[in-house]
Amino acid sequence: MVETTLVSVFLLLLVGGMVDLGGAFQNYIIVTNAAREGARAAARLPCKADNRVALRAAIVQASLDEAAGSNVVLAATDIVIAPDPVSEGCAAAGEPIEVTVMVSYQTLLGSLWGGGAAITVRNSATMAYAGAD
């Protein structure tokens, strides 16, 4: 009985760790796709002096739309654009635009022990700006 108890605890911790790792990897894939869609929108939409706020909103919305319907809840504050069209202006044609998306993943084992351990899942995508039409 004692041996079974010790082995069962070890196996449950192992299974819980695998579930946490799988959930973190799933979030990583969703974050990667959201960053890629944001970078794609940033690369092909025209950036002009009169549409910079709308351009930033379109980039953020493209990332949010990609993550919609998944278990990852993104907010506009989770998305960073470099160079930011509002504060830094438009990139020159051929220059890279990087969109970074980050989200906090709450682990299963951390929440069971009350510690609330979280992993920050983050990825970015870079594409060359095509230039304004």
* Distance set, CA 133 to CA 15, 61, 64, 130 (Å): 54, 22, 26, 9
pLDDT on residue 33:
96
Give me 45's structure tokens: 């939409």
- Spatial separation of the C-alpha atoms in residues 108 and 79, rounded to whole Å: 25
pLDDT on residue 41:
94
pLDDT on residue 115:
65
**What pTM was estimated for this model as a whole?**
0.85
Count the Cβ atoms, other than its own, within 10 Å of residue 63: 29
What are the counts of helices (DSSP H) followed by strands (DSSP E) for the chain?
3, 3
pLDDT per residue of the chain (133 residues) written in tens, 0 to 9: 888 988 998 898 899 889 988 999 999 999 999 999 999 999 999 988 888 999 999 999 999 999 998 989 999 999 999 999 999 988 888 899 999 999 998 888 776 666 667 889 999 999 999 876 5
How do the domains of the chain map onto residue ranges? 2-128
pLDDT on residue 119:
86
